[in-house]
Copies of this chain bind each other. A is one copy, B any other.
Amino acid sequence: MNCFVIKELEAKNVADGVEMRVISGEKMTMVFFNLDKGVEIPEHSHPHEQMGTVMRGSVELVVGREKRTVKKGGAYHIPSNVVHSGRCLEASSEVLEVFSPPREDLKT
């Protein structure tokens, strides 16, 4: 088993206000994000299916033509290849996302 304390995983600052910690598997990738208020994730898409949950704070997601606010205790599912973007609504928000197949571009 690989067992981790999330805050002890290597953190990557992938953009201003976006900190990422990654656990890589064979069939999926789990990513823990720490987001500053106001941070925007621009529109993008990928063949990987994506699921996520907000563990702290809140985010606004635009998926296809749909805009939704997801708060702590909320979760979402973004199918493969659907264009999506996000914006962090609260300071120190924490979001967990998983991708399958694994994100080779995020591999640790």
Residues of chain A at the chain B interface (Cβ within 8 Å): 1-7, 23, 25-28, 30, 32, 49, 51, 53, 55, 61, 63-64, 66, 68, 70, 73-80, 82, 84, 96, 98, 100-101
Contact = CB atoms under 8 A, between A and B. Distances in A.
A84 B2 CA distance: 13
Interface residue SS majority, chain A: strand
A93 B49 CA distance: 28
How many copies the complex holds: the figure is: 2
B79 A26 contact: yes
Nearest to A29: B51
14 contacts: A1-B61, A1-B66, A2-B77, A4-B76, A6-B73, A7-B73, A23-B51, A26-B49, A26-B79, A26-B80, A27-B27, A28-B28, A30-B53, A53-B96
